[in-house]
Homo-oligomer: A and B are copies of this chain.
Amino acid sequence: MTGIDQKTDKPARRKASKEVRRGQLIEATITSIAARGFAATTMADVADGAGLSRGIVNFHFESKEKLLAETLRFMSAAYEANWREALRTAAPGPAQKLWALVKSDFDRSVCNQRTIAAWFALRVEAQSRPTYRRISRRPDDAFLGAIVDLCRDLIADGGYDADAGKLAAGLDAMLEGMWLSILMDPDRMSRRRGLASVSQYLTCVFPRHFSNEGPLDTN
C-alpha cells in the first residue's frame, strides 16, 4: 500500500500523493467535525481546513457521503489497530493482556478530545444510515470478543464466581462511557482518572489478578 518500492518511483509518487491528499482531507474532516460538529461541517470547511480548493473533495472522494464513510472507516481502523497492537505486545497471561487492552483505550493517540468528539459524532449520526453502521460494527464485535475471551480465562484461572459475558459487556460499556465522560466533562474526567476508575473495578472483580496499580504477577 505504501508504494515506496518497485524500480521506478514515479507511479509510487503519484499513488503516494493521492493517498496523502486523501489522508489530509480525512484529517481535516475529523478536525472540522470535532470543532464544529457533524451537522455544521461543510465541504468548504474540509477543503479550507486542508488548505485546498473547494472542488477538491469531490475529486478525491466522489461525494460528501463517501468522504464521511471513509473517515469513519479510517477511525475504526486506527482504533482497532491500536488495541490489537497492544494485545500483541502484551506480556503473556490474561491479566496482563486485559490490562494492556484497557490501557490502550486510554492511549493519547486514540483517547483525546478531537478524536473522541469526531468518533461519537460520526457513530451516532451513522446510526440512522445502515450503510455506515456496518463500518464500525465488525471492529466493535472483535473488541468485545477479545474482552469476553480474557474474562473467561481470568474466571477460570482465579475461580471467580461470575459470568464472563456479563463482565465483558459491562467493561466494554464502561470503557465507552469513559470516553463520553472525557468528551462531555473534561474538567471532571481525564485519561488518568478514567484508567484509575476502571482499575478500581478490575481490582474488585478480579482481586487475585489486579491491584489498583495494575495486574499482579500471578503467573
Contact = CB atoms under 8 A, between A and B. Distances in A.
A36 interface: yes
Report, as a range, how many residues of chain A touch the other chain.
35 or more
A128 B37 contact: yes
State the oligomeric state as a number of copies: 2
A129 interface: yes
A201 B193 contact: no
A167 interface: yes
Contacts of A199: 166
Contacts of A196: 166
B124 A166 contact: no
A178 interface: yes
Contacts of A180: 173, 176-177, 180
Contact of A169 (B121, B123, B193, B204): B193
B200 A201 contact: no
Interface of A: 34-40, 117, 120-121, 123-125, 127-129, 133, 137, 140, 144, 160, 162-163, 166-167, 169-170, 172-178, 180-181, 183-185, 188-189, 193-194, 196-201, 203-205
Given A144-B188, A162-B203, A177-B178, 16 more contacts: A34-B128, A40-B128, A120-B120, A121-B124, A124-B124, A140-B185, A162-B200, A162-B204, A166-B193, A167-B197, A170-B197, A170-B200, A173-B175, A173-B178, A173-B197, A175-B177
